[in-house]
Structure 1
Amino acid sequence: MDIQSLKFFRAVAASGSISKAAKELNYAQSNLTAKIQQLEGDLQTTLFYRHNRGTTLTDKGKVLLVYTDKIFQLLAEVKEVMNDNGVPKGPLAIGSMETTAAVRLPALLSKFHREYPDVDLTLKTGPTEQNVQSVLQYELDGAFVAGPIEHPELSCQTFIEEELVLVTDTFHQPLTSLKEIQNRTILVFRNGCSYRARFEKWLHHEGVIPEKIMEFGTLDGIIGCVSAGLGISLLPRSVVAKHVNEGVLVQHDIPEQFGKVKTIFIYRKDKYSSTSLEKMIEMLSSEKIGLV
């Protein structure tokens, strides 16, 4: 068993076909087939079921894929460690909730870029659940998500506590009961969003079943549709403050048990923390007081 064989194995597992993997790797199909057969011989097990649609991993193949991913992650980490001379540089992939990226991060990331211009910083937005999985799968170095997050493989650092408010268009009367929105459309991010989960928990607690739920992929889309009277939403006060002050939206306070949520920064415990990631964590510690 060697690294090249594992590389070929992972390519076939990903594509579901030896012919597709051979084309992607620019490698003769017969040679790739021989390599897979050799790997199966070395391990004394069958790694793939062969069928007319391609290949499917056996149970043993699924186990090997987990170890193969770990091996390649460790190899990448070794290279990262060897190239890290204590100067922040190279790629740093950070995830964030859409709302946090829109309001809380621009100034922070701008400062980080000014102080560490050699860091190739990328930001990927998505719901909390998606960001957590991306960090666990080594696709992101860290992510800003809604807490609490309790996972044995993750380290967490509190970034800020957000206050959630219900937002409506300017024609909506002040709320005296959540049941008043029974017939209103609920505007939310897709499943996996912590604010959506908090909203649904509040609705369930009050015995309110919304007439319709509409999913959006962007914050601007939700705000625009709320202001147009299409429906209502639950968002951080900091996110809607500008629109409320401009008279575009009206905010309504909600019970504290549903209205407080912490934004935390998560990263893997077992992954080597590059100098770039360490500097990001240090900056969060020094900046979060001023952001609250």
Structure 2
Amino acid sequence: MEFKDLEIFQMVAEKGTITEAAKAFNYVQSNITSRIHKLETELNTPLFNRHHRGMSLTPEGKKLLSYSKEILILTNEMKKSVQNKQEPSGKLEIGTVETVIHLPRILSSYVKKYKDVDLSVYTGVTEKLEEEVLQHKLDGAFVTEAEFHPDLASHEVFQEELVLISDLHASSLDELKKKPFLCFSEGCGYRARLEDWYKDQNIAPTKVMEFGTLETILRSVIMGLGITFVPRSAVNHLEKSGRIQCHTLPDQYSKIKTVFIRRSDNYLTSSIEKFIETIEMNKQVSFEPVSF
């Protein structure tokens, strides 16, 4: 049995078809099929149920999936542990919420200094990113501070002030309470803070509209579609140019920290160690976002 066989097995289990797994690996379908048959022969048991919609795991396949995930995680950790401490290399997969104002500077500093690291960045909401770090899908992530799982270590990046923003026509908080609430999906730390404010005010937003990107949310606010709750640093340029209004809420809702999380039980590779050092070097540097 080879590690690649387990990787292919996991991909077929995830995708549900030989065709999609072959696309993911850029292999011909016959290669994937033969690898699965080889694995089933070695284990002397069927791992998949075959049907017209694709493939689903048998009970034995589900057991193997659990073991294979652990084996491949340990294999990856083993490879990382022998990296040269002075010369980070290999893959580094980082997650982030959309409003980390210092992120471009941090990434630029890191990539320019450590050219042998293959850095990938993925966006999401805090709860989703926390889960992906826990499941070893990400090496670390920038998220809003919360009560994290005990297996996570966090490193403070900076503290933010969240502000309620609207177009130029809204005149009071009472008026804003009646506006649609524009936000990211469930699991966003900023959304949770404003929902706490709504709850404490004994009101409910007239309408909640979910969006996928910060830029779309901000453009929608400018056009008068509704209100949102975001870091002041992300919208200073819009306020200065007279395109939005910022409204402050009490500290219990508006003061929030952005932190970088990672699994505390993972080997601290040189690539992630140097990434944390880069965060420390850049987090105090002022940064002005690009206007749109």
Q: TM-score range by the shorter chain?
A: 0.7 to 0.9
Match of 1:27 in 2: 31
Partner of 2:192: 197
Q: Select the residue among 161, 164, 171 that pairs with 2:162.
A: 164
Contact conserved, 1:18 with 1:32, CA < 8 A, in 2? no
Aligned to 1:174: 172
* Partner in structure 2 of residue 232 of structure 1: 227
C-alpha displacement of 1:61: 3.2
Give the 3 Å change call, closer, same or farther, for CA 154–47 of structure 1 in structure 2. Answer: same
Shift of 1:136: 2.0
Contact 2:96–2:129 (Cα < 8 Å) also in 1: yes
Counterpart amino acid of residue 159 in structure 1: V
Shift of 1:30: 6.7
For residues 161-183 of structure 1, what are the alpha-carbon distances to aligned partners after superposition, in whole Å with 9 as ceiling and x for unaligned? 111111011111133x4xx3343
Task: Give the conservation status (yes or no) of the 8 Å contact 1:159–1:265.
Answer: yes
Quote the sequence identity (%): 40
* Residues 47 and 229 (structure 1), Cα distance of their counterparts in 2 relative to 1, 3 Å cut: same
CA distance in 1, matches of 2:11, 2:113: 39
Task: Report the secondary structure of 1:26's partner residue.
Answer: helix
- Which structure 1 segments of 5+ residues have no match? none
Q: What is the RMSD computed on CA atoms of the aligned residues?
A: 2.7
How many angstroms does 1:21 deviate by? Answer: 5.8
Cα deviation, residue 49, structure 1? 4.4
* CA gap 1:37/1:53 in 2 versus in 1, 3 angstroms: farther
Q: How far did 1:108 drift?
A: 2.2
- Of residues 112, 127, 138, the one that matches 1:114 is 112
Q: Determine the structure 1 residue equivalent to 2:290.
A: none
Give the one of 111, 123, 131 matched to 2:129: 131
Match of 1:104 in 2: 102
Q: TM-score, normalised by structure 1?
A: 0.85
Query: In structure 2, the residue corresponding to 1:152 is in which secondary structure?
Result: coil
The equivalent residue for 1:39 is 43
Q: Relative to total residues, which structure has the larger helix share, 1 or 2?
A: 1
How many residues are matched? 283
Q: Which amino acid aligns with 1:243?
A: L
Q: Give the partner amino acid of 1:35.
A: L
Query: Is the contact made by 2:8 and 2:35 (CA closer than 8 Å) also made in structure 1?
Result: no
Work out the CA distance in 2 between the residues paired with 1:151 and 1:97.
18
Q: Is the CA contact 1:184–1:211 (under 8 Å) kept in the aligned structure 2? A: yes
- TM-score in terms of structure 2 length: 0.85
- SS of the residue corresponding to residue 99 of structure 1 reads coil
Which position in structure 1 is the counterpart of 2:209? 214
For each residue in 1:85-137, what CA deviation from the matched residue of structure 2 results, as whole angstroms up to 9, or x when unmatched?
5312333221111111xx22122222223332333322222211222122222
Contact conserved, 2:105 with 2:282, CA < 8 A, in 1? no
Partner Cα distance (1:198, 1:58) in 2: 43
TM-aligned CA deviation for residue 192 of structure 1: 2.1
Q: Which residue of 1 aligns with 2:264?
A: 269
Deviates more, 1:65-74 or 1:27-36: 27-36
Letter aligned with residue 208 of structure 2 = I
* Contact 1:84 1:274 survives alignment (8 Å): no
Structure 1 residues 61 and 108 mapped into 2: Cα distance closer, same or farther (>3 Å)? same
**Aligned-residue offset at 1:270:** 2.7
Note the C-alpha offset of 1:286. 3.7
Range with greater deviation from structure 2 (64-73 or 15-24): 15-24
Structure 1 pair 15/239, CA: closer, same or farther in 2 (3 Å)? closer
CA distance in 2, matches of 1:29, 1:242: 55
Give the whole-Å Cα distance in 1 for the aligned partners of 2:122 and 2:33.
36
Distance in 2 between residues matched to 1:31 and 1:133, nearest whole Å: 30
Relative to structure 1, the CA distance from residue 47 to residue 152 in structure 2 (aligned partners, 3 Å threshold; closer, same or farther) is farther
Once residues 261 and 7 of structure 1 are traced to their aligned partners in structure 2, the CA distance between those partners, rounded to angstroms, is 40
| Partner residue, 2:240 | 245
CA distance in 2, matches of 1:282, 1:172: 43
Give 5+ residue unaligned stretches, structure 2: 288-292
Output the CA distance in 2 between the equivalents of 1:118 and 1:2. 27
